[in-house]
Amino acid sequence: MDATSRERVSIVERAGIILAGLSIDMAINYPMWISAKRVSAGLTMPRLGEVYKGSGSLMFAMGPMIVVQDATTAVVLRSLDGKLDPTAAQAASACVAGAVGALTVGAQIEAVITRSHAIQQTITQTTWTTFRTSGIVALVAPYGAMMIAAREVPYAGCLFFLSGCIDPM
């Protein structure tokens, strides 16, 4: 999908498609994602009441993250327009967008959610505890942010690049 074809889908249509996909992702994928995070951190599997702990915060954060990724994709696409083959430009813009979204929004909320499960506090309590004990830097640039960004490069590259290859009927 090049810059021109990207503009054929209105912002409202893109938002609706993204919201539908995000809702399904939260319902199905979030329990597996948080279970994997907990087990890898040496915690037990989440109890039934913890399965969706933090999912609302993550879903709320996805809005700004998707806005950042969408804007980054548009900027990179426009800057690469005519310089690269449209397919390569779309792939590159999607990968860059994943890293930017992760570094500006994703890593921060992911760190708070994971920490809240580890210390058994609510998301709000964990945010304040982290701020009081480690300062604003721990919230803005949490440990592991670069790895989260590295993970998002292929994820966003596949998700946004491949979605750009789908031709609507």
Mean pLDDT (whole number) for 9-34: 86
* Contact call for residues 96 and 111 (beta carbons, < 8 A): no
pLDDT tens digit sequence for 120-133: 999 999 999 999 99
> How far, in Å, CA of 65 to CA of 99, rounded?
11
Domains of the chain by residue range = 3-164
pLDDT tens digit sequence for 37-82: 899 889 999 999 899 999 989 988 988 988 898 899 899 999 998 8
The pTM of this model reads: 0.79
| Paired tokens of 88 | 């390569």
List, in order, residues 6 or more apart from 137 with CB less than 8 Å away.
none
* Contact call for residues 95 and 157 (beta carbons, < 8 A): yes
